[in-house]
Amino acid sequence: MTLDMAACGRKIGPLIRNYDWKDVILYALSVGAGFDEFSYVYEKNLKVIPSFSVAAIFDFFWAAASSAGVSPEGVLHGEQEIIFYEPVPAEGILTTEGTITDYFDKGSKGALIRAESSTRHSDGKILYKNIMTLFSRRDGGFGGAPGVIRSFFFPERHPDYVVDARTSPSQPLLYRLTGDFFPLHADPEFAAKAGFAKPIMHGMCTFGFACRALIGSLIPGKPEMTKHISCRFAQPLYPGEPIRTLIWKDEENRALWCVVHGISGRVIIDRGIFAYGDRLT
């Protein structure tokens, strides 16, 4: 397929998502929450894991991919950033509008498509801004700019927090019910065509595990204090494998983080930033 360069700046949306407490709890269960995080999985005094904000509007990912004209078998989630203006309520209607903002040519490695969106709740408040990068492995070499690689360094010391978890062998089958039905995460035949031994974890599912680890370590029981979370998806993870979230307190109300494979140590999610505080501005 050929990328549609004219899609840059073209409006995407409005995309509408009606959700309630069952969707919020399903998401929490799909990213590993259980009785030990009861406020995420029971409707009384229910709290929303902030990373639900992307799962709830994942149609925007596919709308951007479709608008850009990417090859479906070659597309992966490259980077994710969410800026929160308000805590996400436990129910309501979300309206999302956005656009593709940039294309970057990585030559034989593929292409990056950057898209941004804003999501408003049915109470009238703008809840969050979503910035995502799609990595299209089969669409590089179109002659565009390569983009700028920003410097990023983790502290040269042991992490302040280390959180271990293990994904279930069937984790993607549960997570896909939150709205990401891409067959790469469920269909062995499709996964093989895409170059993988078997279906892989949704990057956003692993991201949800990390979000829980960050909140539990830095602002336990207070997901509403989350202001910003971002990362780069570095390597695929197969279901059932262990993961480890490493967290460094960087400055007041900010931490750096990554997710590594629990056995090999290879980096699964990199360049993580998490900001939090008493006031959401």
Q: Which residues are designated catalytic?
A: 180, 185, 200, 203
φ/ψ (deg, to 5) at 61: -55, -50
Coil, helix or strand at residue 169: coil
How many helices (H) and strands (E) the chain has is answered by 7, 10
CA distance 38 to 272: 26
109: number of Cβ within 10 Å:
12
Which tokens hold the place of 269? 């999610």
Burial 31-54 (b: 16+ CB within 10 A, else e): bbbeeebebbbeeeebbbbbbbbb
